[in-house]
């Protein structure tokens, strides 16, 4: 056998061995990815948890196409929303869709992380053709930081309203799924490899699992909270709940500004919005998971850390009790009001929020 043939065989063997060294780990990661199931939720992503354990299995009700607009405020709209991811993320699930479908209102949503309130109020469209309703939307934990730019109130200007009788905590359904025939459909979470297996997510899962086993904490932005009974989730894991770690920081963030100061600054924002005497101001606060599922949490120290109810009592004219509506549905066993793998509502949560808001606007 010639030396050339021998060299060629050696090279071929080297290439095949090198290819196997690369292919076998990739196939292993891909196989593990199939087991973990394709990534969907933001909490499973940032926490490197398995969709197999925390992914939702109850079909979600989605609109085929978003019925409201996002990002471009260049003409008159009945409602202008300045909101965060509860108003801008996953448009097919939006609470705004229900308002448009049920009421025929035109709605535009602006991203509060990109546009400031003063920019909206100075927009010539807002000045010349004011909307009927302006909604400031935010998740609970971020509320103090959303209004930190607002001028501080002096002691004599603080709002002093007494507690009021709470609005109905879970309104009778104003809209039925059948009302949206042709506009929406039920969808299932895909567990097929065709949805895309992210190898980076699989590698992170392995590494973070190692850290949790070895050191008890992987130092991610998502955390598990133990429940004292099975939570109303459609996921396989019903005994623990994934939450965003900043939800724990709301205690210090709210305490730093103070409830009275928060209430007063919101009152100042209301005055700016309603100065045209044509626009109604609404504060729409989405409670975080720690608040919404407080009655299910095993750690009693985490059950009473929210001041959202007290704030609602001080601002009854502008703040619909979405928190009460959601927690009532959750305590009655409604599944996936919040998605088990995500910080945000499932389709039932968005519908409950929309119905509560419609009731409030009809009877503020």
- pLDDT tens for 128-176 read 999 999 999 999 999 999 999 888 886 444 443 333 333 433 444 555 5
Cα 273 to Cα 279: distance, rounded to the nearest angstrom: 7
271 contacts: CB under 8 Å, gap ≥ 6: none
At 171 the pLDDT is 41
pTM of the model: 0.87
Phi-psi region of 318 (alpha: psi -120 to 50; beta: other; left: phi over 0): alpha
Q: How confident is the model at residue 240 (pLDDT cuts 50, 70, 90)?
A: very high
Supply the pLDDT for residue 278.
96
Go through the chain and tell me how many residues it has. 364
More confident residue, 357 or 3: 357
- pLDDT of amino acid 168: 38
Q: pLDDT tens across 39-76, in order?
A: 899 999 999 999 999 999 999 999 999 999 998 899 99
Q: Is the pLDDT of residue 32 over 80?
A: no
pLDDT at 199: 80
Check pLDDT > 60 for residue 248: yes
State pLDDT tens for residues 18-28.
Answer: 555 555 565 65
What was the pLDDT predicted at 346?
97
Quick check: 230 pLDDT over 50? yes
- Average pLDDT, rounded, for the chain: 86
Phi and psi at residue 281, in whole multiples of 5°?
-95, 135
Q: How do beta strands 240-244 and 280-286 pair?
A: unpaired
Helix (H, G, I), strand (E, B) or coil at 257: helix
State percent of the chain over pLDDT 70.
82
pLDDT tens for each residue of 112-131: 999 999 999 999 999 999 99
| Contact between 330 and 293 (Cβ < 8 Å) | yes
Percent over 90 (pLDDT), the chain: 68
In this prediction, residues 74-81 reach a mean pLDDT of 97
Cα 216 → chain centroid: 27
Rg over CA atoms, the chain: 25
DSSP-derived letter for residue 29 is H
pLDDT digits (tens, 9 = 90+) for 264-296: 999 999 999 999 999 999 999 999 999 999 999
Q: Does residue 71 contact residue 123 with C-beta atoms inside 8 Å?
A: no
User: So what's the pLDDT on residue 259?
Assistant: 94
11 pLDDT above the threshold of 70 = no
Query: Which residue pairs, CB below 8 angstroms and at least 24 apart, start in 4-10?
Result: none
- List, as one string, the DSSP characters of 59-73: PEEEESS-SSEES--
Compute the distance between CA of residue 240 and CA of residue 55 in angstroms, rounded to an integer. 13
């Amino acid at each position: 056998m010639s030396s050339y043939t021998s060299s060629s065989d050696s090279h071929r063997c080297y290439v095949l061995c090198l290819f196997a060294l690369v292919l076998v780990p990739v196939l292993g990661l891909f196989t593990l990815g199939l087991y973990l199931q394709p990534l969907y939720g933001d909490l499973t992503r940032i926490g490197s948890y398995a969709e197999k354990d925390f992914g939702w299995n109850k079909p979600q009700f989605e609109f085929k196409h978003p019925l409201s607009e996002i990002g471009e405020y260049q003409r008159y709209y009945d409602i202008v929303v300045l909101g965060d991811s509860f108003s801008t993320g996953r448009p097919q699930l939006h609470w705004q869709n229900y308002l448009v479908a049920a009421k025929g209102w035109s709605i535009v949503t602006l991203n509060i992380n990109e546009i400031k309130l003063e920019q909206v109020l100075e927009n010539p469209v807002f000045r010349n053709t004011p909307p009927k309703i302006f909604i400031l939307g935010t998740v609970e934990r971020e509320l103090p930081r959303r209004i930190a730019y607002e001028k501080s109130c002096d002691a004599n200007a603080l709002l002093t309203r007494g507690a009021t009788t709470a609005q109905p905590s879970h309104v009778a359904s104003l809209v039925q799924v059948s009302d949206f025939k042709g506009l929406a459909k039920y969808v299932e979470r895909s567990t097929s490899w065709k949805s895309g297996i992210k190898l980076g997510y699989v590698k992170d899962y392995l590494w973070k699992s190692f850290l949790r086993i070895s050191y008890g904490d992987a130092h991610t932005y998502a955390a598990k909270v133990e429940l004292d009974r099975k939570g109303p989730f459609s996921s396989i894991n019903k005994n623990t709940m994934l939450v965003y770690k900043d939800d724990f920081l709301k205690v210090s963030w709210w305490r730093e500004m103070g409830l009275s100061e928060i209430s007063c600054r919101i009152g100042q924002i209301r005055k700016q919005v309603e100065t045209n005497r044509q626009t109604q101001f609404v504060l729409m606060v989405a409670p975080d998971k720690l608040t919404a599922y407080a009655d299910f949490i095993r750690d009693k120290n985490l059950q009473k850390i929210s001041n959202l109810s007290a704030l609602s009592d001080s601002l009854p004219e502008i703040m619909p009790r979405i928190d009460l509506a959601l927690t009532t549905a959750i305590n009655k066993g409604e599944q996936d009001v919040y998605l088990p793998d995500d910080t945000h509502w499932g389709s039932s949560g968005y519908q409950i929020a929309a119905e509560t808001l419609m009731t409030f606007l009809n009877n503020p």
